[in-house]
Structure 1
Amino acid sequence: MDRAISIDTLRRRLHLRIATGLVLVTGLCAAAWGINRVVRPSITASEIVVAEVRRGDIANTINASGVVIPVHEEVVSTPVATRVAKVHAKPGQQVTQGELLLELDDRELRLALDSLKEQLAQQENRIVVLTQELEQKHKQLVSSIELLEIDLQSVRAKHERFQKLRASGAVSGEDMLTAELNVKRTEIQLRQQREQVDDTRRATRSAIEAANLQKAILQKQIAQQEQRLAQARVTAPFSGMLTSLIEEEGASVAVGQQVARVSELNNYRVEATLSDFHARLLAPGQAVRVEQNGEVLAGTVHTILPEIQNGTIKLLVDLAQPHNQLLRNKMRVDVNIVTDRKANALVITSGLAFNGRGRQPAWQVQDGVARKTTLELGSSDGKLVEIVAGAQPGERFIVSDTSTFKELDSIRISQ
């Protein structure tokens, strides 16, 4: 005979079924969570850099590479083709104005200078001779004129006497004509002698002026040769750093070849190089930020060089602190040229996640998950990027490199 199951037994069975169901549901949830952890990709927070969108001022900049150069630098070149006779200095040392750096072989210069001085002495002697000749000729002509003046007085007196005797018939017509001709001949000779005085004076003066001109030319050539001779002793044009020098004694040098270069100490500017694509955006006076090892120096565009080489353009930047102790000759720096400024713009820290202007994908971080979205970017100054559309202040985005998960729509961020 069957007995009825007790209420306690039924209650225990019900509790067992409920407990078993709860265990199964919990197990299924745990399994789903575990599968999700395994299947859904994730990254650790230490692998990424996250920045917050905020309001701020931003400057649009053009990036360029720069080299620190001295404001004042002077090149010393050789005046003639010669060789290095003796070296007195070494590159890299500090020199004072007028300090002897090296000596060039000056034997040919001295020979040429001696030859010019001999030519000058000849010209000076020629001028003396011409002057003496002019004085002698003038004296001779003056004497001839004085004699002709006496002859003219004599023939005129004879002519006047013949005129009186002609009236009484004591002088023939032929004698009278001869006397008249003698007067005219003597007058012509006297006029010719006086003209010859002027002609001789002009001719001799022209010769003297030509000799003086040649003398002046020789004097200039001598001065130039003496200057070249002085340049054979190569000295520092001003106090500074000797940045280059021909150190090999006996080395041949050509005319105009650089033998030394002296640069001013602790007074620098920057020579920047960038693509000619940006040439239309550049203008003198634009603000510039020069960066090196985290240090930022302010400056302005001084000169935009007109020549374009291999698709690049160069400009010179004046620094607000040209004597800064961080600067070194030929140091490479980053140059950011400010072309525009915006106030109270929506900005975020710049990073590898962003690439230029325009619409591009970005990963917004919220509740431990980075979800793919689209941002429209505007100006950038190398530190900040302007967000034109797609974000609000306070939202957070990954700004580090996102290339490893660029094909995903979302990714979990684990601690």
Structure 2
Amino acid sequence: MDREIPKEVRARARRKTFITYGAIAAAVIAVVVVLTSLMRTSLTRKDVIIVTADQGSIETTVSATGKVVPAFEEIINSPINTRIVEIYCKAGDSVGAGTPLLRLDLQSTETELNKLMDQIEMKRYELEQQRINNDTRLSDLDMQIKVKAMAVNRMEVELRNERYLDSLGSGTGDRVKQVELAYNTGKLELEQMKQQLENERKVTDADLKVKDLELNIFGKNLGEMKRTLDDARIKAPRAATLTYINNQIGQKVSEGERIAVISDLSHFKVEGEIADSYGDRVSVGGKAVVKIGKEKLSGTVTNVTPLSRNGVISFNVQLDEDNHRRLRSGLKTDVYVMCDVVEDVTRIANGSFYTGPGEYELFVLDGENELVKRKVRLGDSNFENVEVVRGISPGEQVVISDMSQYKNSNKLKLK
């Protein structure tokens, strides 16, 4: 016959069961916590750059790309259509002022020059001939006027005599009228000849001016051709380095075609490009900083192109130290153009994470060993600091390294 189990025994059994299940549940939770902790992404401090946010001012800049180019560069173009005959220098040579660089075929140009010189000589003879003919014609007219004046004077005397005889009764009225008519006609003819002489002088002066002008035009053409011929004897205009030369002997070159380039490789400037959306923030006279590795070179914006090309605006930066040892022609640089000063703002150090004003997700140190992702808004910047609009307070520590590989993680364990 079965006996009834006492209540105390059943209670102890139930408590034992509860304790067993509770211990199992606690063990499971502990395992889950441990596994979660072990599965959380972790990284060491030396793998990231952590900075502390502070309060201060920022001299805002806009960033641009730049390229180091010689401060002085001159392109030498062919002044005529010709061909290359000889090469005297090669690219990379240092040349002095007046150093021959190459020789062009100048035979046809020299022939044209000689022909033009002959034409000028002929124009000089024509001018001299015109001057002699004019003098002869004017002298003839002047002599004719003198003869005519003498004839008119004789007619005047004759008229006075006829009038005197007529007053004595020895002459006739018809004779007086006849002599008077001849005298008046002679005076008119004399005035006509004087006017003809005056007009002839004006005409001859105009003819001489035309001939003289033609001679001057030929002279100017001769001077221009001499300059062209002299330019065709290609020489270095100043002491510099020959960075390019067309060394293809026999090759035909057209007028205006580039055949050589000389550059001053001891002094440099920076040609920058910036998105046209920032065009209003770059102006002539503005300060700029050119960053080459860890070197920072200060300079001034000297030229800004007024037009946008392919979405960018070009400008030049004149460096304060344009002969710095790190400067090399063609070297790519970062350029920061100073825009404005923002006072009393929260700021963090600039880094590779920053690409312009806007929203960012940055990791902020929470406690000693945990990084928590936080949405922040950043504003303007310079090459050293970035303005924090919201999301970070002064004194907080922020990761400024490239954390793109952890974009799917909200928390990171810091070792």
Tell me if both proteins adopt one fold, taking TM over 0.5 as the criterion.
yes
Counterpart for residue 404 of structure 1:
405
Alpha-carbon deviation of 1:403? 2.9
Q: Distance in 2 between matches of 1:158 and 1:359?
A: 121
Contact 1:59–1:379 (Cα < 8 Å) also in 2: no
User: Against the structure 1 CA distance between its residues 120 and 26, is the aligned structure 2 distance closer, same or farther, given a 3 Å change threshold?
Assistant: same
Unaligned stretches of 5+ residues in structure 1: 1-22
Q: Distance in 2 between matches of 1:350 and 1:397?
A: 11
Amino acid at match of 2:318: D
Matches for 1:299-310 after TM superposition, within 5 Å: 299-310=299-310
Alpha-carbon deviation of 1:222? 1.0
Q: Secondary structure at the match of 1:265?
A: strand
Counterpart for residue 75 of structure 1:
75
Amino acid at match of 2:213: L
Q: Distance in 2 between matches of 1:373 and 1:206?
A: 92
Q: Distance in 2 between matches of 1:397 and 1:115?
A: 82
Q: Distance in 2 between matches of 1:28 and 1:139?
A: 137
Q: Secondary structure at the match of 2:159?
A: helix
Alpha-carbon deviation of 1:47? 3.7
Query: Is 2:372 the counterpart of 1:377?
Result: no
Matches for 1:194-213 after TM superposition, within 5 Å: 194-213=194-213
Counterpart for residue 391 of structure 2:
390
Amino acid at match of 1:331: L
Alpha-carbon deviation of 1:104? 1.9
What do residues 273-294 of structure 1 show as CA deviations (whole Å, max 9, x unaligned)? 0110111222222221111122
Q: Distance in 2 between matches of 1:330 and 1:318?
A: 16
Counterpart for residue 282 of structure 1:
282
Contact 1:266–1:325 (Cα < 8 Å) also in 2: no
User: Against the structure 1 CA distance between its residues 317 and 183, is the aligned structure 2 distance closer, same or farther, given a 3 Å change threshold?
Assistant: same
Alpha-carbon deviation of 1:29? 9.3
Unaligned stretches of 5+ residues in structure 2: 1-22
Q: Distance in 2 between matches of 1:351 and 1:157?
A: 118
Amino acid at match of 1:198: E
Counterpart for residue 326 of structure 2:
326
Counterpart for residue 413 of structure 1:
414
Contact 1:76–1:258 (Cα < 8 Å) also in 2: yes
Counterpart for residue 98 of structure 1:
98
Q: How many residues align?
A: 393
Q: Distance in 1 between matches of 2:107 and 2:359?
A: 74
* Identity among equivalent pairs (%): 24
What do residues 318-362 of structure 1 show as CA deviations (whole Å, max 9, x unaligned)? 111012122122221111112223456433333345554344332
Q: Distance in 1 between matches of 2:34 and 2:325?
A: 59
Q: Distance in 1 between matches of 2:162 and 2:25?
A: 173
Contact 1:149–1:190 (Cα < 8 Å) also in 2: yes
User: Against the structure 1 CA distance between its residues 213 and 359, is the aligned structure 2 distance closer, same or farther, given a 3 Å change threshold?
Assistant: closer
Q: Which moved more, 1:109-118 or 1:210-219?
A: 109-118
Q: Secondary structure at the match of 1:183?
A: helix
Alpha-carbon deviation of 1:243? 1.9
Alpha-carbon deviation of 1:306? 0.5
Q: Secondary structure at the match of 1:309?
A: coil
Q: Distance in 2 between matches of 1:94 and 1:43?
A: 55
Q: Distance in 2 between matches of 1:396 and 1:154?
A: 126
Alpha-carbon deviation of 1:32? 5.8
Q: Distance in 1 between matches of 2:34 and 2:77?
A: 79
Counterpart for residue 135 of structure 2:
135
Counterpart for residue 40 of structure 2:
40
Alpha-carbon deviation of 1:377? 2.3
User: Against the structure 1 CA distance between its residues 385 and 123, is the aligned structure 2 distance closer, same or farther, given a 3 Å change threshold?
Assistant: same
Q: Distance in 2 between matches of 1:143 and 1:379?
A: 95
Q: Distance in 2 between matches of 1:117 and 1:295?
A: 61
CA-atom RMSD, angstroms?
Answer: 2.8
What do residues 73-120 of structure 1 show as CA deviations (whole Å, max 9, x unaligned)? 222222222222222111221111111112222222222222222222
User: Against the structure 1 CA distance between its residues 276 and 168, is the aligned structure 2 distance closer, same or farther, given a 3 Å change threshold?
Assistant: same
Q: Distance in 1 between matches of 2:323 and 2:338?
A: 23
Alpha-carbon deviation of 1:180? 2.2
Alpha-carbon deviation of 1:302? 1.8
Query: Is 2:277 the counterpart of 1:291?
Result: no
User: Against the structure 1 CA distance between its residues 173 and 319, is the aligned structure 2 distance closer, same or farther, given a 3 Å change threshold?
Assistant: same
Q: Which moved more, 1:359-368 or 1:294-303?
A: 359-368
User: Against the structure 1 CA distance between its residues 72 and 154, is the aligned structure 2 distance closer, same or farther, given a 3 Å change threshold?
Assistant: same
Q: Distance in 1 between matches of 2:228 and 2:211?
A: 25
Alpha-carbon deviation of 1:131? 2.0
Q: Distance in 2 between matches of 1:150 and 1:223?
A: 53
Q: Secondary structure at the match of 1:99?
A: coil
Q: Distance in 2 between matches of 1:36 and 1:108?
A: 90
Counterpart for residue 112 of structure 1:
112
